[in-house]
Structure 1
Amino acid sequence: MGIHYDYKSTKGNKLMEKQAKREKKLAEKKAKRLAKEGPKEEEAKPKTLDTSKPITLDFLTNPDKE
């Protein structure tokens, strides 16, 4: 009766320890990933077209457009 009695009485504690270990590991992975990526830059807003200018063929086909 020794092993089974001990298992049920300590089951809750072992599960909490296991969960804490899992969360710690995930936090370390997240910190490592963020450090590797560097500071997160704000996403650039998509440039909108100026409605006062007409759209020309040169504007559509120019590869060096700004």
Structure 2
Amino acid sequence: MTHAEKRQELKKWLGVCKDRRERMIALRIFRARTRPPRPHTGGMSLIEMLLNNTLRPIIRPSGGDE
């Protein structure tokens, strides 16, 4: 998918949204769908990926393993 195609597709997605919150959610899901999957997401669902992205800093603080 070229950059231009992505932009067109995203426009379609955001056109459906009613408010800013919906836009943010749509953008997140869109990014997760179009971005090539990262190796550490061992076959996780989209929702799990989103949850992991929000929880990772809490689960693994950057201070090494104390």
The structure with higher relative contact order (CA 8 Å, sep 6+) is 2
TM-score, normalized by length of structure 2? 0.30
TM-score, normalized by length of structure 1? 0.30
